[in-house]
Structure 1
Amino acid sequence: MRRRVLILMVAALVLIGAFAAPAGAAPGDPTGAPNEGTDLTLGEKLDAANTEWLQAQAVLDQSKKRQAELAAQVEAMQKELEPVRASVNVIAAAAYRTGGNVRLTSALVNTDSPEQFMDRILLVNTIAQYNDRQIGRLTKLEKDLADAKKAADDEVAKQQAQSAIQAKKKADAESALAKMKGRADGYVNVNSPLATPAPRNADGSWPAENCILDDPTTTGCITPRTYHAAQEARKAGFTHFYSCFRPSGPYEHPKGRACDFAAASDGFGGVASGADKTYGTNLAAFFVKNASSLGVLYVIWFRQVWTPAAGWHAYSGGNGDPSSDHTNHVHLSLI
């Protein structure tokens, strides 16, 4: 009896382990998730460094846009203010020369008839209203101009702060990539199509997203931004097999913020060559060109890794096989 219970317990543990383990490729199955290694440290460091770098860049871009709008506003107000100020100066000079209210009172007293008296009252009232409007307009313009200039100065201060954050996070990204072999030429294609930008917050920053959408490539989940990036790639003509969510492993797969795009049309195979390698190179270049629009954290392809903070670096984090060396698929991680 005791032996039977022991056998049942072992069987149960095996079953639990089977369900807990991430889905892997069956022997010869090219559509199973590629084994990208276990370099969790690199993924976590790049995630932290590049997330903050991207957020700082987003706020910086929005600040520069706002500063340009304020500069145009200041220029327009200065042009409007000049003739108003000249008009008020004329009013002040005339009032000084004529004795102001004394001359107006005299003009009203020295009238020949009630009708003429009323006409002069209306004229004096009209002049006074015009003068008041011009002085009020000048006061408002001067205040608005001062506010706009202060806002522009505030944007400059914000930009300086964001640039300081970016410099720090670039150093952090470089540190995370220190074990790599240094800078690389990278993959660039000036003819890469443009992607439709993913939604942002009002200040230009990236909204936090959870793994809430069904992953069309697995039974797991992905974030809306991940789904958007994958769909934009397919719209751009990159329609080969790809896979996103994994319950465990390195990078952002368990968070629904990463996808692996096979170089071959039918799945993950050996080292890409010929048309398949060209496909992977063009796809990596597409993600890099549209990194700001899609919220790209980093791209890994053919022993090279790209980050927004540090650019392309040689990637030596693999184990010498096509999957962990990323020579059979393009890895994409998103903020």
Structure 2
Amino acid sequence: MAATLLRRLQPVLAILIALAVLLVAAPAAHADPDSEGGTKSLRTALESAAKGHIEAKNKLENSKKRQKQLTATLAEAKQKAASLETRVGEVASRSYRQGRFNTMTLLLNSSSPDAFMERALRLDQMAQVDGKVLTGYQEAVVTTEQAKKAIDLEIKEQQKQVTVMAKKKQQAEQALAIAGGGAARSGFINANSPLAKPAPRNSDGSWPKESCSVNDPSPGGGGCITPRTLHAYQQARASGFKRYTGCFSQRSSGEHPKGRACDFSAASGGFENVNASGGDRTYGDNLAAYFVKNADRLGVLYVIWYRQIWQPGLGWKSYSGSGGPSATHTNHVHLSVI
């Protein structure tokens, strides 16, 4: 009985075994990369370094703008003070020569009431003019001193932010070195990359805080992403990079579960478990170059492609993710935004 049942099930078992072999052997064309390579600590360090650099750079640029405005104010105040110095000297000299008593004497020595009133009017007008001259000169001097002090403070602020940027760069380099990467690379640069439409910023040029609040429209998505991630995704597609993409995914770390990252497949059919070559490699090169060129416009934290990583203030460095094409980023371009 058992032998008969086994013989009857053999064809079914053979089919099931064959299907299992095919499922294991066949590459999942649309399967999202299951690993970004590196470690959680590495990704955390890189994110912190990139965000710190972007924030310090924005503060530095704002300080330079303020210094430029203050320098113009200082020059204008100096010019005004210089133009009034001669008139201030005249007022001081006249006051010294005549004094309050002599001014009253001039009025009393008038030959007639009409002459008295005329002299009084002229002296009043002169006093008003003298008062405006003295007040204008004093304001110009005060403005000059305040502008000088403010400029000194801006210079200190700029030195502070330059120091912060240097520390963040060192932090990223050390993290990459610990992971076995960090060597300088020529990277992926294309001067002919199209320009993306800038993402919205705050009035001071900083990036607004965003949450995972909009639906992920990418084919490989299925969760939420931030408005800035959506903008980067849409701008890439508008610039001709329309191959299979996955943004949100549940992972233990990184920006994907925060809705701040997307993986762009190099192959047109989806994520293949092979290193991109030929036209697929060119597509990935151009896409990586596109994100680097538009980093300030899109709020790019970092880009990873073909064993290399780029982030603001660091440039292209070797990235030593170990494992298959997903971990080494040789089958997809990874983008993280602030």
TM-score (structure 2 length as normaliser): 0.85
Moved more, 262-271 or 181-190: 262-271
Contact 1:306 1:312 in 2 (8 A): yes
1:324 aligned counterpart, secondary structure = helix
- Kindly indicate whether residue 45 of structure 2 is the aligned counterpart of residue 45 of structure 1: yes
What does residue range 145-164 of structure 1 map to in structure 2 within 5 Å? 145-164=144-163
1:202 Cα deviation after fit: 4.1
Amino acid at match of 1:299: V
Q: Which residue of 2 aligns with 1:119?
A: 118
1:28 Cα deviation after fit: 4.4
Q: Which residue of 1 aligns with 2:304?
A: 300
Relative to structure 1, the CA distance from residue 184 to residue 250 in structure 2 (aligned partners, 3 Å threshold; closer, same or farther) is: farther
Contact 1:26 1:32 in 2 (8 A): no
- Kindly indicate whether residue 311 of structure 2 is the aligned counterpart of residue 275 of structure 1: no
1:259 aligned counterpart, secondary structure = strand
Q: Which residue of 2 aligns with 1:196?
A: 197
For 1:81-103, what per-residue CA distance to the aligned partner results, in whole angstroms no more than 9, with x for missing partners? Answer: 2212332122112322x323233
Q: Distance in 1 between matches of 2:259 and 2:92?
A: 69
1:29 Cα deviation after fit: 4.2
Relative to structure 1, the CA distance from residue 113 to residue 58 in structure 2 (aligned partners, 3 Å threshold; closer, same or farther) is: same
- Kindly indicate whether residue 327 of structure 2 is the aligned counterpart of residue 324 of structure 1: yes
Q: Distance in 1 between matches of 2:287 and 2:76?
A: 45
What does residue range 252-267 of structure 1 map to in structure 2 within 5 Å? 252-267=255-270
1:286 Cα deviation after fit: 1.6
Aligned residues with identical type, % of pairs: 46
Q: Distance in 2 between matches of 1:255 and 1:290?
A: 22
1:100 aligned counterpart, secondary structure = helix
For 1:283-302, what per-residue CA distance to the aligned partner results, in whole angstroms no more than 9, with x for missing partners? Answer: 11121122223221111011
2:329 aligned counterpart, secondary structure = coil
| Structure with bigger gyration radius | 2
Relative to structure 1, the CA distance from residue 129 to residue 250 in structure 2 (aligned partners, 3 Å threshold; closer, same or farther) is: same
1:239 Cα deviation after fit: 2.5
Q: Structure 2: 5+ residue runs without aligned partners?
A: 1-23
Q: Distance in 1 between matches of 2:25 and 2:302?
A: 28
Q: Which residue of 2 aligns with 1:166?
A: 165
- Kindly indicate whether residue 332 of structure 2 is the aligned counterpart of residue 333 of structure 1: no
Q: Structure 1: 5+ residue runs without aligned partners?
A: 1-24
Relative to structure 1, the CA distance from residue 257 to residue 137 in structure 2 (aligned partners, 3 Å threshold; closer, same or farther) is: same
- Kindly indicate whether residue 33 of structure 2 is the aligned counterpart of residue 34 of structure 1: yes
Relative to structure 1, the CA distance from residue 72 to residue 219 in structure 2 (aligned partners, 3 Å threshold; closer, same or farther) is: same
1:184 Cα deviation after fit: 1.0
Please report the RMSD computed on the Cα atoms of aligned residues, expressed in angstroms. Answer: 2.1
Q: Distance in 2 between matches of 1:325 and 1:250?
A: 17
Contact 1:36 1:250 in 2 (8 A): no
Q: Which residue of 1 aligns with 2:63?
A: 63
Relative to structure 1, the CA distance from residue 102 to residue 161 in structure 2 (aligned partners, 3 Å threshold; closer, same or farther) is: same
1:216 aligned counterpart, secondary structure = coil
Q: Distance in 2 between matches of 1:193 and 1:74?
A: 41
Amino acid at match of 1:297: L
2:325 aligned counterpart, secondary structure = coil
Q: Distance in 2 between matches of 1:283 and 1:79?
A: 53
